Amino acid sequence: MKKLWLMFTLLMLSGCGIRTLDPHSGTARDQAFLIYFSFAIMVVVMVIVFALMIRFVWKYRQTAKNKDDLPEEINGNKRLETAWTLIPVVLLTILAIPTVAITYDLSPTTTTDTEGAIHVQVTGERWNWTFEYANGKQADNVVLPVGETVVFHLNSNDVIHSFWIPELGGKQDVIPGKEILFEVTPDEKGSFIGKCAEFCGLDHANMRFDANIVSAEAYQAWLEKE
């Protein structure tokens, strides 16, 4: 028990930040909104259910007075059954509307949706990523200008990987034989860790890269450097 407390305290002190909840792009912000939104609904449901449960446990506890009473029969009560069917339907509908809207909105389905964007070919391979720009430049880490829309063209040379830069959004499956587009507009400078989020073999944990978001000038200079 002592050890458990120590582990818990260390975990809390380490400030293990949840990077998906520290969004630095519109995509990541939309995703973080969905997380908070569903969490809020969950908290409301949880508070109501727990409050009712505590109340009923207390109100209907056995006492010397009621110990021979039989509970009221509620089987077939139309009002109750309608209520406990409709409440989840309403909650799920409230959840589904923004979820479906945002999901359809997040990624382009064709390249014509994104003319004027920066297009980067991304190839996942056990166990590294290669980024190729329109001018032919190849790199192991991705460099992008702040405020510009970028479309990643995700491809895999072997197995299924998953492309994920938590602060910028994702994750997006990378499937061999199928190009998947993933659009992001980073809106703050910074260096973020990207990773493979689909277990793909022995060195999966090391399948990482850096996503460096820099000024337009720094990006241009980097792009033109051999």
In the complex, what is the shortest distance from the CB of residue 9 to Cu ion, in angstroms, rounded to a whole number? 34
Q: Does 195 bind Cu ion (CB under 5 A)?
A: no
CB-wise, 161 or 171, nearer to Cu ion?
A: 161
| Whether the Cβ atoms of residue 214 and residue 222 lie closer than 8 Å to each other | yes
User: Least CB distance from residue 222 to Cu ion, whole Å?
Assistant: 26
Radius of gyration of the chain (CA): 25
Q: Does 165 bind Cu ion (CB under 5 A)?
A: no
Q: Which residue has the tokens 């110990």?
A: 67
**Nearest distance, CB of residue 122 and Cu ion, angstroms:** 12
CA separation for the pair 122, 187 (Å, rounded): 21
Size of the site for Cu ion (CB under 5 A): 4
Is residue 200 a contact residue for Cu ion (CB under 5 A)? yes
Chain centroid, CA 101 distance in Å: 15
Neighbours of 181 (CB within 10 A): 18
Among 144, 150, 151, 207, contact with Cu ion (rule: CB under 5 A): 207
Residue 161: helix, strand or coil by DSSP?
A: strand
HSE of 36 in the Cβ direction (CA atoms, 13 Å)?
11
Does residue number 214 form part of the binding site for Cu ion (CB under 5 A)?
A: no
Does 171 help bind Cu ion (rule: CB under 5 A)? Answer: no
Nearer to Cu ion, 69 or 203 (CB): 203
Residues 6+ apart with CB under 8 A from 130: 122, 123, 138, 139, 140
| CB nearer Cu ion, residue 146 or residue 207 | 207
Of 25, 26, 28, 161, the residue at the interface with Cu ion (CB under 5 A) is 161
What residues line the site for Cu ion (CB under 5 A)? 161, 196, 200, 207
